[in-house]
């Protein structure tokens, strides 16, 4: 199965908003509302930030929001903070009853 | 609070079999309908979903990884395991075990265990 496509890097200044895209197909993102987003700091395990396209687990800041349009999902980080600097991965359920991750996006806070 | 923790050899020789175990604490591996997951990350690379297993033994696997990967569960020990046959340098990675909130949305993660395949 092919990885979902994300931009390699996205950057923004503190306080700004940034959006990370995650492109898939009708067999994954487009076909199901089971898209998740993970944040990963260096040498740390990933942290679930968004699930089911737009839901936030308890404890995750409301500055993080998710959406989907067609075969593309997006993660928006509002009020960018230095602590948001990390790698971000999307993930989706697929028609093969499996899961696939995105290629990953490095977020830099300028 | 539920916790999962990977354990493994750290170093394995090329063509040999890699065995990893994930120990669950703070909860039962047999509870509810969770599929416990394995994810790996090669050095400097992205996350790769390996597969998941239910306490009943039912599994779901990444078709791209073919049949070298085998998952099993031991409910008496509250553990689940991953075996990788005929390892190569491409299998060098940090291996994570995880439990989802309900399905595929991995919320509880282990710290990861680095496995290096030596020639």
**pLDDT value of position B20:** 98
**pLDDT value of position B32:** 77
By DSSP bridging, strand B106-109 and strand B93-100 are antiparallel
Nearest alpha carbon to residue A4 among A84, A73, A55, A69: A73
Which one of B5, B106, B110, B114 would you mutate to disrupt binding with A, by most A Cβ within 10 Å of its Cβ?
Answer: B106
Per-residue pLDDT of chain B (119 residues; tens, 9 = 90+): 999 999 999 999 999 999 999 999 999 999 878 999 999 999 999 999 999 999 999 999 999 996 899 999 999 999 999 999 999 999 999 999 999 998 889 999 999 999 999 98
**pLDDT value of position B53:** 96
**pLDDT value of position B104:** 85
Mark yes or no for CB contact B101/A103 under 8 Å: no
The span from the CA of B88 to the CA of B69, in Å, is 13
A37 in reach of chain B (CB within 8 A): no
pLDDT in tens, A30-51: 999 999 999 999 999 999 999 9
**pLDDT value of position B72:** 98
- Check if the beta carbon of residue B90 is closer than 8 Å to that of residue A26: no
Nearest alpha carbon to residue A102 among B102, B47, B58, B65: B47
Q: Please tell me the distance in Å from A38's CA to the nearest CA on chain B.
A: 9
B96 in reach of chain A (CB within 8 A): yes
**pLDDT value of position B102:** 87
Which one of A2, A28, A45 would you mutate to disrupt binding with B, by most B Cβ within 10 Å of its Cβ?
Answer: A45
Mark yes or no for CB contact A100/B49 under 8 Å: yes
The span from the CA of A31 to the CA of A18, in Å, is 25
Question: Which residues of chain A are modeled with pLDDT < 70?
Answer: none
**pLDDT value of position A52:** 97
Burial tier of B10 (Cβ tally within 10 Å: 0-12, 13-18, 19+): exposed
Instruction: Report the percentage of chain A scoring pLDDT > 70.
Output: 100
């Amino acid at each position: 199965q092919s990885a979902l496509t994300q931009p390699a890097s996205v950057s923004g200044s503190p306080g700004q908003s940034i959006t990370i895209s995650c492109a898939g197909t009708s067999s994954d993102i487009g076909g199901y509302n089971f898209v998740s987003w993970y944040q990963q700091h260096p040498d740390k395990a990933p942290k679930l930030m968004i699930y089911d396209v737009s839901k936030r687990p308890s404890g995750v800041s409301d500055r993080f929001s998710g959406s989907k349009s067609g075969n593309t999902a997006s993660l928006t980080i509002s009020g960018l903070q230095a602590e948001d600097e990390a790698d971000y991965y999307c993930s989706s359920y697929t028609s093969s009853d499996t899961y696939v991750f995105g290629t990953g996006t490095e977020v830099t806070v300028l | 609070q539920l916790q999962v923790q990977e354990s493994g050899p750290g170093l394995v020789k090329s063509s040999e079999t890699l065995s990893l175990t994930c120990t669950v604490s703070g909860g039962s591996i047999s509870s509810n309908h969770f599929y416990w997951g394995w994810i790996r990350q090669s050095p400097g690379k992205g996350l790769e979903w390996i597969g998941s297993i239910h306490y009943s033994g039912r599994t779901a696997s990444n078709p791209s990884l073919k049949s070298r990967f085998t998952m099993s569960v031991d409910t008496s020990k509250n553990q689940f395991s991953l075996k990788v046959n005929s390892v190569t340098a491409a299998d060098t990675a940090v291996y994570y075990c995880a439990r989802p909130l309900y399905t595929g949305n991995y919320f509880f993660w282990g710290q990861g265990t680095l496995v290096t395949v030596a020639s």
